[in-house]
Structure 1
Amino acid sequence: MRYWYSLHKWSSLICALIMLMLCITGLPLIFHDELEDALDSRPHLTARPSLYRNLDTLVAAATAGYPAYQPRWVIINNEKPEVSVGLASPDNGENPWITLNAYTGKVITSSETKSPEKTALTWISRLHADLFAGLPGQLFLGFMGLLFLLALVSGVIIYKPFTRFTAFGAIRTVGSPRQKFADLHKLLGIVALVWTVLVTGTGVLHTLSAPLYQHWQTSSMQSLLEPYRHQPPPNRLSPVQQAVATVRAELPGHRVAFLYFPNDQWGSPYHYMIYTTGATSYTTHWYTPALVDAATGQLTAVAAVPWYIRLLQLAHPLHSGNYGGLPLKVLWALLDIVTIGVIVSGSYLWLLRKRPASPLISQQMLTVSELSAAKAPQPQSSWQIWKLPLLLGSLTVLGCVAALFGAGIWQGLSWLFLSLPLLIAIKLCLRSGQNH
């Protein structure tokens, strides 16, 4: 048990500062869409993609102010009537982007007119994603995430001996500050355990997204391009709208989310690479790419998506909490704050340490002594110790999964299941404060 305690302590301490930064920067990113709308200071309009203007017209409007630039990508927003167009610099300089009203074609915003507040939000997003260091930064954050998962697992292993003589959620206000913070640390940690494991694990997956997508592109996508290997790239491109219509006809029920123009970096130098999503709550996060010959506008292939790419795509909503409406985002933020409390209380416990020798045994001896003096009951059984944590964990799993199946009742169940662990924890804290 001393080994697991040491493993929990040092794995936690090594990653504490980085994980605290990720939790703090993650808070505003949970409400990224709402903050973007507020900073835009314009009403939220309902999207009706069937009424969007012709994509070629929108691309032409976006490139009107950049005659020397070439369109590189297009994002079609199916939630609000906006289409964004990215441009490629002719001299490998800055690559601007423009967002237009999908109904009127008028420019809404661009990379050159982005407000300082939005720039700050982008800065936070980059800090959270890769520490402004690209792939090395992502991999470093992934390693920190693995250490945090190790700290969570070892924390579960040492949870039982630390709670053997105390009721679940009891925070002893009489005694040393370290004892009070230890009780708080245990309660917050066990309440948010499953959610923290889920968000940390999906975050680790995100740090591997670039090499995994690159592997998929080089291993699977290249075989689709074999017939074009010795052909020159097309000099004249077929209309973008025609390519999108071709994909929609091939994949009925799918929505076109974004596309790449022919290029050597992403997709194909001979094709439009068009990504679609499903229309249901479960499949709206799954992207399926289709290759459309840029010269003829004919469909070349719909690429098969391997399981590890599907896993990465499903990890995104589970990490950000953006799939169950604003109430789910609020619950995500509250659980994020609880995780911050776990990290802060754990770090404070280390600062309050006395002697490094046998901290687990020392605390257990202190607990036994106090309980004997108070004529405490006999030690709890394993079932008594774990029944409430198992209940809270099961509710958290159900809450995280339910909203993926649909809206309406599914979202309501998701909010309910994720609210219950927080409400139970608050009730236990209040009851513990009244009893002491």
Structure 2
Amino acid sequence: MTASTIRAWSFVHTWTSLVCTAFLLMLCVTGLPLIFHDEFEAALNPHEWTPANPDGPRLDLDTILDRALENRPGEVPLFMSFDTDRPVVNVTTGPVPDAPGSQMHFERFDATSGDMVPAPADAGGFMDFLLQFHTDMFLGLPGMLFLGAMGVAFLAAIISGLVLYWPFTRKQSFGVVRVQRSARVKWLDYHNLLGVVILAWVMVVGVTGVINTLATPIYDTWRSHALADLIAPYGEREVPNPDAMASLDSAVRRAVEAAPDMQLQFVAFPGGGFSTDFHYAIFLHGNSAVTEHLIAPVLVDAQTGEFAGLREMPWYVKMLSLSQPLHFGDYGGLPLKILWALLDIATIVVLVSGLYLWIARRRSSRRPLLAAAATRQGA
């Protein structure tokens, strides 16, 4: 590379790194405990909850929904989800069908009795705070999009850093750390070495992180385009009142019958961002380790209970569904989570060392200027 090309790449690497470093450090620090969210929750709740009637039949979903609405008078149902490892039905309610997350109420119900299940320790506590801060810094969609822009800057810093480091590898062996040189040179070698070692991982986490920040626009696009033909016949009709809706239990049975090779994941009620104003959107997911993160909605008319269709998610929603668990290392159990944590720590070292190198370089470049100024004053 020519000197001008090197200067251009160095400029890109320096300033994209500086722009995103503080926010990337925040994401790495908050993301580290989030990797082990399930393990922390299990440790904080050593006493396993047991259902009221372990061997008894499960209540129908309409009964559980009625219990949830009795518990939150004046609210409407937004979502219903189902625990995979215990007979628990989770119901999310809010004051209006399109209520923001801050106005939603989440409650757990025993599927065998309809009783409320005690919330686990730290529910709505420190881990939820970290997740919200990590996701959007409590700024909603603008915060998510801003962090997405920081992710793009981070990817640019990674690529430019690799371009700058590549010619250097031809002058000395890979992995050499010049420990006998100055602290700045030594940390430059550590910075370059760790950066190359974690290169593939930071690219994966960076790309999936950027995709995750686009979740709201992605789902809005899916809802307005992929479901447009279902919405059109209803014209300007209002969202049906919960009291006038068709049986939820029957709707879910129809959905499961339409896709017997898939499992029930959650239900989105009419009026929210995951459904239309007139349908239950009953989301199913695959049975295998590969397909369990790929979801497909079955639409059922919320007033008549008629089956409206099984809709395959478009490629951009599938991309989002696969990127979310990959971002936190949820595919391979505890061993992969430990690897994710070690790589996260290595990324923190790379970010901090990069900031140190920039400060040290500025100080060293200022010394000749200060010395010259002192000489002129002495003269």
> TM-score range with shorter-chain normalisation?
0.7 to 0.9
Equivalent residue for 1:430?
Answer: none
1:4 is aligned with what amino acid? W
Write out aligned runs for 1:12-31 (5 A).
12-31=17-36
Deviations 1:286-318 (A, max 9, x none): 111111112232211112321111111111111
Q: 1:238 Cα shift?
A: 1.9
Write out aligned runs for 1:10-409 (5 A).
10-43=15-48, 52-89=58-95, 94-109=103-118, 118-229=124-235, 233-234=239-240, 236-263=244-271, 265-353=273-361, 354-356=363-365
Matches of 1:309 and 1:272, distance apart in 2 = 19
Matches of 2:123 and 2:80, distance apart in 1 = 24
Number of matched residues? 352
Structure 1: state its 5+ residue gaps: 358-436
1:6 is aligned with what amino acid? F
Matches of 1:262 and 1:159, distance apart in 2 = 54
1:344 is aligned with what amino acid? V
Matches of 2:257 and 2:95, distance apart in 1 = 33
Matches of 1:170 and 1:321, distance apart in 2 = 30
Percent sequence identity over matched residues?
39
Contact 1:39 1:117 in 2 (8 A): no
Matches of 1:282 and 1:342, distance apart in 2 = 32
Matches of 1:24 and 1:81, distance apart in 2 = 35
Q: Which moved more, 1:169-178 or 1:157-166?
A: 157-166
Give the direction of change, closer, same or farther, for the CA distance of 1:3–1:356 in structure 2 (3 Å limit).
farther
Computed over aligned residues only, the root mean square deviation of the Cα atoms, in angstroms, reads 2.6
Q: Which moved more, 1:212-221 or 1:260-269?
A: 260-269
Matches of 2:308 and 2:62, distance apart in 1 = 21
Q: 1:13 Cα shift?
A: 1.2
Structure 2: state its 5+ residue gaps: 1-5, 367-379
Matches of 2:175 and 2:278, distance apart in 1 = 62
Matches of 1:204 and 1:98, distance apart in 2 = 31
Normalization by structure 2: what TM-score? 0.85
Normalization by structure 1: what TM-score? 0.75
Q: 1:234 Cα shift?
A: 4.3
Contact 2:239 2:271 in 1 (8 A): no
Matches of 2:27 and 2:50, distance apart in 1 = 32
Matches of 1:94 and 1:346, distance apart in 2 = 41
Q: 1:43 Cα shift?
A: 2.7
Q: 1:102 Cα shift?
A: 3.5
Q: 1:143 Cα shift?
A: 0.7
From 6, 14, 36, give the equivalent of 1:9. Answer: 14
Contact 1:99 1:109 in 2 (8 A): yes
Give the direction of change, closer, same or farther, for the CA distance of 1:333–1:52 in structure 2 (3 Å limit).
farther
Matches of 1:205 and 1:275, distance apart in 2 = 21
Matches of 2:151 and 2:329, distance apart in 1 = 18
